[in-house]
Structure 1
Amino acid sequence: MQERQLEQMKNGQGFIAALDQSGGSTPKALALYGISEDEYANKDEMFDLVHEMRSRIITSPAFDSDHIIGAILFEQTMDREIEGMYTGDYLAEKKGVVPFLKVDKGLDEEANGVQLMKPISDLEDTLKRANERNIFGTKMRSVIKEANPEGIKAVVDQQFDIGKKIISAGLVPIIEPEVDIKSPEKEKCEELLKAEIRNHLDQLEQGENVMLKLTIPTVANTYKELIEHPNVVRVVALSGGYAIDEANEKLSENHGLIASFSRALTQDLNAKQSDEEFNNTLEKAATSIYRASIT
């Protein structure tokens, strides 16, 4: 299974669906889906509703391996079931989609123009459970807001330090140092980030594989050399707050870069839609993101 999934992530045509909104961003995700905060009484009900939303997306006929090659899950989603199967098993066995797990615990306060990840105190236990749940890889996010060399180095150092522990556990880390699309120094940030990532990639041993999840660059094909690096399974792009049409347009200008969109995939879905409306809306979004990803 792992070898087949590695081949799918390296060479498969399609994109990764990011379904990993966590505790802090769940109310916003539900609100976009048409469920307001007065429709649930507590966190348990909130997480039940968001699992229903994710289950509806994943079980939809529009959610298939013809367009979607991987999906990133929130930890609770990994531990829950869809149609009597753990979510990762359902994705892999029923849908042919490679499952990933978000492992970070959110962002620290901003310093040196960046936000590092909060400490991940239970990483070892989480990785053990991820292996038990047949998860292929992980994802963790930091944010870069200013072209501060010291801050950007700290972000990449932290990402690769934790990434190596994930590799040691037999999983493939998605390293995600997001550059804020609103940064006035976005292009400069991307040049500094590329150099730092390249430096770390060149220190990896053969067979130490990573994926990268990066903001769509200001200058098209900025990340070409990272896409071609032998230790990189795939480079995927986050939508970063761009609406779907703009995200797709920018993505299509970058050869070899595929999408890992969250809001852009689900922005037009609504709890009140009939199954036919819901499936058609999801299919339209998935098809458009797929087309932008295979350029």
Structure 2
Amino acid sequence: MNQEQFDIMKNKGGFIAALDQSGGSTPRALELYGVNEDEYSNDEEMFNLVHEMRTRIITSPSFTGDKIIGAILFEHTMNNKIEDKYTGDYLKDKGIVPFIKIDKGLADIKNGVQLMKPMPELDTLLKQSVDKGMFGTKMRSNIMEYNEEGIDAVVKQQFEVGYQIIEAGLVPIIEPEVNIAAEDKEKIESYLKQSIQKELDKLNEDQFVMLKLTIPTEPDLYKELIDHPQVVRVVALSGGYSTDDANDMLKLNHGLIASFSRALTQNLNVNQSDEEFDQTLKEAVDSIYEASIS
């Protein structure tokens, strides 16, 4: 683990940019950016287009380590270059800590949740991630209903994979997302907090994780998790909320910082001039930063 990057993630004000759309979510991300599916004919062309989008974001003068302390990448982005540097190295030169999304998508719904699909090649990806200078990883599950058995299964799986990631020398971002449309969202979050707390208490003093959680309905619900000695940082996903709504909710949760995806990029468009693009991104970065340090 890189101590300088650890200190940035633990202590510096700012937020994490989530630039990790992959597979099934990539066409939607491109569509929101103004690139329609008829503009590419296969996965290679699609991923090249999304890398162009991410390159435009990362190279923007508004995308700096002053306010953005980390960025989560898709595997394709990690293995690609920006201005003749691997993406992770380019980010580190900007003072931004790089992470890699490792999950392979979600399994079918069972007990009100979606576990992660199996990751048989995870060890290989983790080694590759270390070689490419990643600091940590991110993996997402999905909770849609109040079902204690399902919630516990999500948390157990996340931490089991988390131990494998820690062993590889990386810091896992554990992401048991609570769907913002869940009927019992507040009740789910209360139980989820307890389930996570039990797993955190099992970690040794030299084992660290990060948490990525849906902004809770009850403000400051996750304060105990934020303060846990084995937690580097707790970050919030926007979960489909608009930038304004996500920021307003985030401000009510002290110590919780953003790790937004759509809320960061929702107003960017491929047809914008560089000046328009940079100004639009700057407005989003500034607003999310202010919400994250409040």
Q: Shared topology, TM-score over 0.5? A: yes
1:103 pairs with 2:102: yes
Q: C-alpha distance in 2, partners of 1:44/1:136? A: 27
Question: Residue 287 in 1 paired to residue 289 in 2?
Answer: no
Q: What is the identity, as a one-letter code, of the residue corresponding to 2:108?
A: E
Equivalent-residue separation in structure 1 for 2:41 and 2:153 (angstroms):
40
Q: How does 1:1-295 map to 2 (within 5 A)?
A: 2-93=2-93, 95-295=94-294
- Per-residue deviation, 1:48: 0.5
Opposite residue 22 of structure 1, the aligned amino acid is S
Q: Given the two structures, how large is their TM-score scaled by the length of structure 1? A: 0.99
Shift of 1:41: 1.6
Q: CA deviation at 1:147?
A: 1.0
Task: Tell me the distance in 1 between the aligned counterparts of 2:199 and 2:95.
Answer: 32
Hey, what's the Cα distance between the residues in 1 that align with 2:77 and 2:18?
Answer: 12
- Superposition deviation, residue 5 in structure 1: 0.3
Partner SS state of residue 224, structure 2: helix
CA RMSD of aligned residues (A): 0.6
The count of residues paired between Structure 1 and Structure 2 equals 294
Give 1:66's aligned amino acid: D
Task: Report the Cα offset of residue 216 of structure 1.
Answer: 0.2
Counterpart CA distance in 2 for 1:23 and 1:274 is 28
Aligned-pair CA distance for 1:269? 0.2
- 3-state secondary structure, aligned to 1:24: helix
Q: Which amino acid aligns with 2:64?
A: D
CA distance in 1, matches of 2:205, 2:189: 26
Please state how far the C-alpha of 1:59 moved relative to its aligned partner.
Answer: 0.4
- How far, CA to CA, are the matches of 2:20 and 2:107 in structure 1? 19
Return the letter of the residue paired with 2:198. N
What is the one-letter code of the residue matched to 1:114? V
Cα deviation for residue 40 of structure 1 reads 1.1
> For the residues of structure 2 that align with 1:45 and 1:103, how far apart are their CA atoms?
22
- State the Cα distance separating 1:66 from its structure 2 match: 1.0
Q: Which 5+ residue runs of structure 1 have no aligned equivalent?
A: none
Tell me how far 1:23 sits from its aligned partner: 1.1
Q: CA deviation at 1:84?
A: 0.3
Question: For residue 13 of structure 1, what is the amino acid of its counterpart?
Answer: G
Compare 42-51 and 232-241 and name the one that shifted more: 42-51
Q: Deviations over 1:21-58 (max 9, x none)?
A: 00111000000000101111211111110000000000
Indicate the SS of the match to 1:17: strand
- Deviation sequence 1:211-236 (CA, Å, 0-9, x none): 00000000000000000000000000
TM-score normalized with structure 2 length: 0.99
1:179 shift after superposition: 0.2
Structure 1 position 67, deviation (Å)? 0.9
Residues of 2 paired with 1:98 and 1:230: CA distance? 21
Rounded Cα–Cα distance in structure 2 between residues aligned with 1:135 and 1:113: 33
Local SS of the residue matching 1:72: strand
CA deviation digits over 1:227-275, x for unaligned, max 9? 0000000000000000000000000000000000000000000000000
1:71: how far off? 0.2
Secondary structure of the corresponding residue to residue 21 of structure 2: coil
